[in-house]
Structure 1
Amino acid sequence: RAPRDTAAVKPGPPGPATPSAPAVAPAAPAADAATVTTPQIQLIPATPDGALDAAEEAVDLLLDSGRTPGDVLVITTGEPHPWAAHELSFGDAAYWAQHDAGDDVFYADAAVAERAKSRAVVVVAVNGGPESAAATALAAAHSRAGALLIVCGEPQRINSVLGAGV
C-alpha cells in the first residue's frame, strides 16, 4: 500500500466512531474454532461520494494499529474500488487467486461478496448502488467479519438496511 498524504488520526476508544476519528480495534489473537463470535460493529458516517475515502482511511488506521493486510476485506456497494477494477482487468481467475492467497487487503463488489472468505475485519463502503446492493453487502460483511465490521455510509440508510435482517 502506498503511504497516504493525510493527517495522522489516532484510534479512539471502542464505541461509536466519528467521521474525524474512527475507532479501530487492535489486532486480536485468533479465536478458538469452536467459538462463535459476533463482530463489533462501527459506523463511520459518510456520504455516498465520501464512503470510499472513509473506508480507505479506516483500512489505513487498521493497518497502522497492527492488523495485517490479510485480515481485511473491503466491500463496495456502488462503483468498485479502483484496486478491484484494476485487478479484474487481468481476469477473474487472477483476481480470486489474490483473494485465496489471503496476504493482502482484498476489495470486492457487493455482487460477488458472497464468494469472499471470512476475514477478521470487514469494511463496507456504502458508496451508492441500489438498496439491494447495500443489503447484500451488509449481510455478507456481517457473516464474514470475525472481530470487527466497519460500515462507512449514511447512518439512516445503513440503519434501515441493518434493521432489515443483518
Structure 2
Amino acid sequence: PARPAPPAQRPHPTPGRSRTDTPENRSAPQIQLIPASAAGALDAADEAVDLLLDSGRAPGDILVLTTGEQHPWAAHELTFGEAAYWAQHEAGDDVFFAGAEAADRLRTRPVVIVAVNGGDTVADVLTGARERAGALLIVCGDPQRINAVLGAAV
C-alpha cells in the first residue's frame, strides 16, 4: 500500500539551529502539560507536533509516545514490518511515533510528546519519557492524573 505523508513532511520552515540540547549538555527537560481527555490526547499530541514544526523544530528532534492505543501513523508504518519501522527510528530524520511498550528501544530526542490516551502504565511511561526528553517533555492528557505522577514538576 502507498504510504501517506507523515505530519512531519508537511511544509514547515526549517531555520538552522545549534544542537545544544543533546543529552551530554542538558539538565532536566522543561515539562509542558496540555490538558486533554484520553480520547483527545492523540489530537493534542498531533497539534503539538505541528506547532513545534511550525516554530522551526527539526522533525527528527521529536518523539511521540502513546500510553494506550498506538498512534495511527505508527500502526500504519508497522504494516510494512518491524525492521522498516525501526529503521525509521534509527535514521532519526523524521518525527517518530511509538507505543509505550517500545520504550526500551527508543533513543533520547530533544522533544518527547506523550499522549496519555489510556493504559495502565502511565507512571512508567512518563518516567521513561522524562529520561528520553533532551530539552522538552510535552504531556497531553488529564492534568490530575499527570500531576499525580509528575508531582510539582508540571
Specify the alignment match of 2:19 in structure 1.
30
> 2:127 corresponds to which residue?
139
Gaps of 5+ in 1: 4-25
Read off the aligned partner of 1:95 and give its amino acid letter.
Y
Q: Deviation of residue 66 (structure 1)?
A: 0.2
Task: Quote the offset at 1:33 in angstroms.
Answer: 6.1
In structure 2, how many angstroms separate the alpha carbons of the residues matched to 1:112 and 1:102?
A: 16
Distance in structure 2 (CA, Å) of the matches to 1:69 and 1:35: 21
- CA drift of 1:34 comes to 4.2
Superposed displacement of residue 107, structure 1: 0.3
Structure 1 runs of 4+ with >6 Å offset: none
Q: Give me the whole-angstrom Cα distance separating, in 1, the residues matched to 2:76 and 2:95.
A: 14
Quickly say closer, same or farther: Cα 1:76–1:33, change in 2 above 3 A. closer
> Aligned-pair RMSD on alpha carbons?
2.1
- The separation in 2 between residues aligned to 1:151 and 1:34, in whole angstroms, is 23
Tell me how many residue pairs correspond in the alignment.
Answer: 140
The percent of aligned pairs where both chains have the same amino acid is: 66
Contact 1:27–1:65 under 8 Å retained in 2: no
Within the alignment, does 1:148 sit opposite 2:136 as a pair? yes
Partner residue, 2:95: 105
1:15-54 equivalences in 2 (<5 Å): 29-31=18-20, 34-54=24-44
What is the CA distance between 1:58 and its match in structure 2?
Answer: 0.3
Higher helix content, 1 or 2: 2
TM-score by length of 2: 0.84
TM-score by length of structure 1 reads 0.78
Distance between the aligned counterparts of 1:33 and 1:144, measured in 2?
9
Relative contact order, CA 8 A, sep 6+: which one is greater? Answer: 2
